[in-house]
């Protein structure tokens, strides 16, 4: 099962098809094509699945989710921790 960690949008491409998100300190690009035009802004929190932004999430809800993830990650070693943050790009349950 793949879990989506709330990620903060830190940059949006000029053509608004891609963005850069920060997921607990790890930055990566994400595709915005599943979202309505102009729906996502820098500073918004979003949920990703296999590299696509699927929806926005409220900042308060994002903060609460991130805190739970931090507690889980504290129990992991560094390699497992990094994999838990980045593995949603490689979800084995892809149906797209």
- In a domain, residue 94? The reply is no
Q: What is the pLDDT of residue 54?
A: 94
- The residues, ordered by sequence, that sit 6+ positions from 66 with a Cβ below 8 Å of its Cβ are 5, 6, 24
CATH of the domain at 80: 2.30.30.140
Q: What is the pLDDT of residue 92?
A: 54
Give the domain extent around 58: 7-89
- In a domain, residue 96? The reply is no
- In a domain, residue 45? The reply is yes
Task: Say if residue 1's pLDDT is above 50.
Answer: no
How many distinct structural domains can be found in the chain?
Answer: 1
- In a domain, residue 95? The reply is no
Q: pTM of the prediction?
A: 0.78
Query: In sequence order, what are the beta bridge partners of 9?
Result: 21
> In this predicted model, what pLDDT tens digit does every residue of 31-77 receive, in sequence order?
999 999 999 999 999 999 889 999 999 999 999 999 998 888 888 88
- In a domain, residue 55? The reply is yes
Whole-Å CA distances, 65 to 14, 31, 38, 62: 30, 22, 25, 5
């Amino acid at each position: 099962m793949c879990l989506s960690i709330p990620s903060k949008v830190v940059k949006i491409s000029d053509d608004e098809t891609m963005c850069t998100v920060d997921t607990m300190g790890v930055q990566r690009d994400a595709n915005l094509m599943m979202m309505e035009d102009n729906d996502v802004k820098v500073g918004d929190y979003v949920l990703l699945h296999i590299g696509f932004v699927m929806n926005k999430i409220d900042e308060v809800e994002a903060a609460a989710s991130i805190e739970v993830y931090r507690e889980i990650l504290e129990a992991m070693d560094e390699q497992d921790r990094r994999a838990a943050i980045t593995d949603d790009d490689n979800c084995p349950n892809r149906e797209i």
